A and B are shown apart, each in its own frame.
Chain A
Amino acid sequence: MSEMKKIKNLKEFSTSADRFEGANLLCPGCAHSIIVREVLNATNDDLVLSASTGCLEVCTAVYPYTSWDASWIHIGFENGSTAVAGAEAMHKALARKGRLKQPDRNPKFVSFAGDGASYDIGFQWISGCMERGHNIMHVVLDNEVYANTGGQRSSSTPIGGSTTTSPAGRVSYGEKQNKKDMVSIMASHGIPYSAQVAPNKWKDMVKKIQHGFAVDGPVFINAVSPCTTEWKFDPKDTMYLSDLSTDSLVFPLYEIIDGHELNITYRPKNVVPVEEYLAAQGRFKHLFKDEYKHLIKEWQERVDKNWAYLNRREEARV
């Protein structure tokens, strides 16, 4: 029987015994560790974890040290999801054969990967895992950039973001493409649960993760992960940036059940203008030049349109 943690308040949450040690090499202010801890803190069950190549992986398993007090594997950039799927298949096989060492345990299988390892290079592997119905959870640490390799654009990088491979310059405003809608794509596999989460809304996140662990089948979680280095903000402002992303509706929080039933899980009381979200980050600094101001307007329109779309989908109950 699966055991979910009951956590009442933030203090309790922060002191809750966890299986991801504070000793790691992640940047000060990195949201990755907060998200990972929130995911792991959602369950007392045993864990089988993978990390795709990326910041989380290179900062937490540098031989001879490890930050993980749980079964953990890294293979490559693209295939963390499939590694966990393989382990899940082995668990099933050994359970059937009566060869599990601790047959009474009910492990959860989770793969962590960045947006590059999920939206781009790992896309096929995740799609395969979702389609085959493995009982695994894939969590994207979505910082909208290849942070581990020093800030190149990914297909999660939003329009106007300046990165090292889509730099803003004398004749360019930076990234030209819109961010890929991964949650919709993954939900379209008909998986039992997919959701967007944010580290600042930790109760919402824990609830969604617990829902994800409770369902039978693949789960896709997209977590916004403000990156102090590449978004260019002060490390103390990680939660502030996370607040801005959810409250401006740039990163709306919702879930999709069984591939179609959409629920918005957070409606900000005071919606913050997108301009405020953009202004807080160095990567969008150039958008405030006169010649690019129209892009901020377009940003706002896009966010409004998406919010209206999500609301319509929720109302339609289809």
Chain B
Amino acid sequence: MAFDKMELRDIEVWDGNFAAAQAMRQCQIDVVAAYPITPSTPIVEGYAKFLADNYVEGEFVMVESEHAAMSGCIGAAAAGGRVATATSSQGFALMVETLYQASGMRLPIVLNVVNRALAAPLNVNGDHSDMYLGRDSGWIQLDAYCPQDAYDLNFIAFKVAEDHEVRLPCMVHQDGFMTSHTAQGVKTLTDDQGYNFVGDFKPMNDMLDFEHPVTHGVQTEEDWHFEHKARQHNDLMTKVLPKIQTAFDEFEKLSGRKYNIVEEYDMADADVAVVCMGTSVETAREVATEMRAKGIKAGVVGIRVIRPFPFEQIKDALKDVKAIGALDRSSPNGAPGMLFNEIAGALFNADTNALLSGYVYGLGGRDLTKAHLTDLFTELQANVDAGKVTTPLQQFIGVRGPKLSFL
């Protein structure tokens, strides 16, 4: 290979952005088309620097908008090579149209989404509003809780997306600033280990195979559209989770690091549990341990795969708990939060009478403190003791002014 390998220490101190950039380098992406936006910018900056220093070989196309970034990625992926980019917030919102195009054309693009609030009011800090905006777009969505996850899940993302039985684009989410700009020790793979895990890119229906011309992005009306969408949905629902599990297992063999589709913490005998994503998972785990010292049997369920939503795994994880708190880091704007709804959907026909409450927290980068979570677990235990939900179904945590709660 013409590019230089990078000598990494076993543990490097990286933030989430640089961890993602390093994984992208080790996967040796052929084309990156990108547009900068806070807080994801350092990912593509890192990639550009790797290119400038000959640690990767490929094309970096610095386009004029996020919409064009994904448009360029789609053209590049259809041409038959490994493609990735990164974005956040408004940029993600601008991309949304093309996200549907990418998945509908079954193009294995990897998108690092550093989660951030959506305007207005303008806010550069982390929440999951942008993540939720993409949840019906036909992409696989993986969620990182820390820089280590951001690094590891990028390998998983390429491996699953590029599988010829899957051929669906994949996002890797991490929390803006809290993960993306917080440096931690990250256990590394060598360049060869990383690249060999994802393997060489195997094109399918590529536009640069001139012996087999292909038409991408056709028009279908009522006669075929349903079949295409239904097939895509079916593949997401039936093929993707087993593929992710296989990739997790292979990755564990390689790195010793174990990932699960749903991350259970102290759930074996838990009476109360919170379900959450991103950086709040680690905080919740710490508080759950403290709650156990106080006699409350607390557990945490972390969502690792947001799409396809792991209904069965969620049902299994929550089958024995008595009260559940669903934590949504997004303003639901006129409905219970997404996690509340999805968990309610998963449990509706399950053999459980668990009490479910929804909590909205951390909008626009607001902290979720251990005190908040202590109160939350205590409240869930109060529900268990009372045998009913004693507080409103939907509450806002840590918002100033009069307490906001609904339903």
B residues engaging A (CB < 8 A)? 2, 30-31, 33, 57-59, 61-65, 67-68, 71-81, 83, 97-98, 101, 203, 206-211, 213-221, 224, 228
Contact = CB atoms under 8 A, between A and B. Distances in A.
A87 B207 contact: yes
A64 B203 CA distance: 22
A185 to B, nearest CB: 15
Interface in A38-90: 46, 48, 50, 57-58, 61-64, 66, 68-76, 78-79, 82-90
Contacts of B68: 79, 82, 124-125, 128
Contact of B219 (A61, A70, A93): A61
Given A63-B218, A72-B214, A86-B71, 18 more contacts: A61-B215, A62-B218, A62-B219, A62-B221, A71-B209, A82-B68, A86-B77, A89-B61, A90-B30, A90-B77, A90-B80, A101-B203, A101-B209, A124-B64, A125-B71, A128-B64, A128-B68, A132-B63
Given A76-B101, A94-B208, A70 B213 contact: yes
A58 B219 contact: yes
Contacts of B208: 48, 71, 87, 90-91, 94, 100-102, 107
A92 interface: yes
A50 B80 CA distance: 15
Contacts, number: 169
Given A71-B213, A102-B210, A128-B68, A93 B218 contact: no
Contacts of B71: 75-76, 79, 82-83, 86, 125
Interface string A121-155: 00011011001100000000000000000000000
Nearest to A78: B67
30 contacts: A48-B207, A48-B208, A57-B219, A62-B219, A63-B224, A71-B208, A72-B207, A72-B213, A72-B216, A73-B217, A75-B75, A76-B98, A79-B98, A82-B33, A83-B72, A83-B75, A85-B75, A89-B33, A90-B75, A90-B77, A90-B79, A91-B79, A93-B31, A93-B58, A93-B81, A97-B57, A97-B58, A102-B208, A124-B65, A128-B63
Nearest to B205: A71
Nearest to A77: B97
A240 B72 CA distance: 39
B75 A63 contact: no
A125 B67 CA distance: 9
Contacts of B77: 86, 90
A201 interface: no
Contacts of A76: 71, 97-98, 101
A78 B210 CA distance: 26
A10 to B, nearest CB: 27
Contacts of B80: 90, 94
Nearest to B58: A93
A64 to B, nearest CB: 7
A269 interface: no
A147 B299 CA distance: 60
A105 interface: yes
A96 interface: yes
Find the residue from A89, A102, A124 having the highest chain B CB count within 10 A: A89
B109 to A, nearest CB: 10
B65 to A, nearest CB: 7
Interface in A202-241: none
Contacts of A132: 61-63
Nearest to A94: B81
A61 to B, nearest CB: 4
Given A76-B71, A83-B71, A124-B68, A68 B217 contact: no
A94 B207 CA distance: 12
A58 B217 CA distance: 10
B215 A89 contact: no
B74 A86 contact: yes
Given A93-B81, A94-B30, A50 B75 contact: yes
A277 to B, nearest CB: 34
Interface centre among A72, A84, A124 (most CB of B within 10 A): A72
Top-6 shortest CB links A-B: A86-B75, A83-B75, A128-B64, A79-B71, A90-B79, A71-B207
B213 A92 contact: no
Contact of B31 (A48, A50, A73, A90): A90
A96 B209 CA distance: 16
Contact of B210 (A94, A105, A128): A105
The residue among B75, B78, B80, B228 with the most chain A CB atoms within 10 A of its own CB is: B75
Given A90-B81, A93-B58, A124-B64, A75 B210 contact: no
B131 to A, nearest CB: 23
Contacts of A131: 64
A26 B278 CA distance: 51
Interface string A223-266: 00000000000000000000000000000000000000000000
Contacts of A61: 215, 217-219
